[in-house]
């Protein structure tokens, strides 16, 4: 980022601007995910007509030394404080897996601060109330790596690289620890519309699970399903970007 962007947004927010003035879409990665992993999606959003801003969580990438927030709510506050979101107009939010819950909490912060949220896209994620009551996520190295293999989305060759695994474990543990402390009741809602999206072949998050997001909005709700598994987004990057931008 340069010029005004450099003054109003933290440098670790990765921006992919559209060729012409466009509505902003903020992207929230999955647990353990770095902003770099969403470069393709950010580029696709820009090509579809969105100004994309990909969030970077602490304990990875250029935030490697930043302390991990203790809770998802603290992470959302951290991300909200990283940019002049009120200055770029109504926001669209897109979160994948754990990132959907982070985006939900970001929307709650934004609505309390008077920043308009145009839409919340939640991808391959349990609803907040369901996530809060789910069993604790694993913290042991062997269990985390088994989880990564089961979810897919990570190159198996990278999981054989000790240096990569060390960094991955740092990021995942930070996110899982915050997620394990998460609390949210079914009565907690955002005013913005929620659009759920997932993969037909996702063995972790079913369409019925996605539909539980409906209780968390005071607005409209829809579900869209693509072929593919938990990381269907990697296969249908351009299609999902078009879906988000067509709103």
Q: Answer whether residue 158 shows pLDDT above 70.
A: yes
Q: How many CB atoms lie within 10 A of CB 84?
A: 12
The pLDDT of 79-89, averaged and rounded, is: 94
Lowest-pLDDT range, 52-56, 73-77, 117-121, 159-163?
A: 159-163
The pLDDT of 185-211, averaged and rounded, is: 98
Q: How many CB atoms lie within 10 A of CB 201?
A: 12
The pLDDT of 210-217, averaged and rounded, is: 98
Distance, in Å, from the CA atom of 168 to the CA atom of 173, rounded to the nearest integer, reads 8
Q: Answer whether residue 6 shows pLDDT above 70.
A: no
Q: Are strands 221-226 and 117-123 parallel, antiparallel or unpaired?
A: unpaired
Distance, in Å, from the CA atom of 247 to the CA atom of 195, rounded to the nearest integer, reads 10
Q: How many CB atoms lie within 10 A of CB 105?
A: 25
Question: Sorting pLDDT into bands at 50, 70 and 90, what band is 2?
Answer: very low
Per the model's pLDDT, the better-predicted residue between 174 and 149 turns out to be 174
Q: What percent of the chain has pLDDT over 90?
A: 88
Domain ranges of the chain: 4-245
Question: Sorting pLDDT into bands at 50, 70 and 90, what band is 5?
Answer: low
- Helix, coil or strand: residue 221: strand
Q: Answer whether residue 241 shows pLDDT above 80.
A: yes
Q: Class for domain 4-245, per CATH?
A: alpha beta
Lowest-pLDDT range, 5-19, 24-38, 90-104, 187-201?
A: 5-19
pLDDT tens per residue across span 104-122: 999 999 999 999 999 999 9
Looking at residue 123, its pLDDT comes to: 98
Q: Answer whether residue 30 shows pLDDT above 50.
A: yes
- For the whole model, what pTM was predicted? 0.95
**CB distance 95 to 103 below 8 Å:** yes
Looking at residue 191, its pLDDT comes to: 98
- The mean pLDDT of the chain is 94
Kindly state the tokens that stand for 4. 């005004």
Q: What percent of the chain has pLDDT over 70?
A: 97
């Amino acid at each position: 980022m340069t010029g005004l962007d450099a003054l109003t947004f933290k440098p670790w927010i990765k921006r992919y601007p559209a060729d012409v003035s466009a509505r902003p879409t903020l992207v929230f990665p999955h647990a353990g995910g770095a902003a770099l992993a969403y470069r393709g999606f950010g580029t696709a959003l820009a090509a579809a007509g969105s100004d994309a801003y990909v969030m970077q969580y602490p304990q990875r990438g250029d935030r490697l030394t930043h302390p991990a927030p203790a809770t998802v709510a603290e992470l959302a506050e951290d991300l909200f404080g990283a940019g002049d979101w009120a200055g770029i107009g109504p926001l669209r939010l897109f979160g994948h897996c754990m990132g959907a819950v982070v985006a939900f909490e970001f929307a709650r912060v934004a609505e309390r601060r008077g920043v308009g949220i145009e839409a919340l896209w939640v991808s391959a994620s349990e609803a907040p109330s369901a996530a809060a009551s789910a069993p604790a996520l694993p913290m042991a190295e062997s269990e985390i790596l088994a989880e990564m293999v089961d979810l897919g989305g990570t190159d198996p060759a990278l999981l054989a690289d000790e240096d990569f695994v060390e960094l991955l474990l740092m990021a995942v543990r930070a996110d899982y620890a915050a997620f394990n402390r998460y609390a949210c009741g079914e009565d907690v809602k955002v005013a913005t519309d929620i659009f759920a999206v997932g993969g037909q072949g996702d063995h972790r998050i079913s369409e019925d699970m996605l539909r539980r997001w409906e209780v968390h909005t005071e607005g409209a709700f829809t579900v869209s399903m693509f072929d593919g598994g938990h990381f269907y987004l990697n296969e249908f990057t351009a299609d999902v970007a078009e879906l988000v931008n067509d709103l």
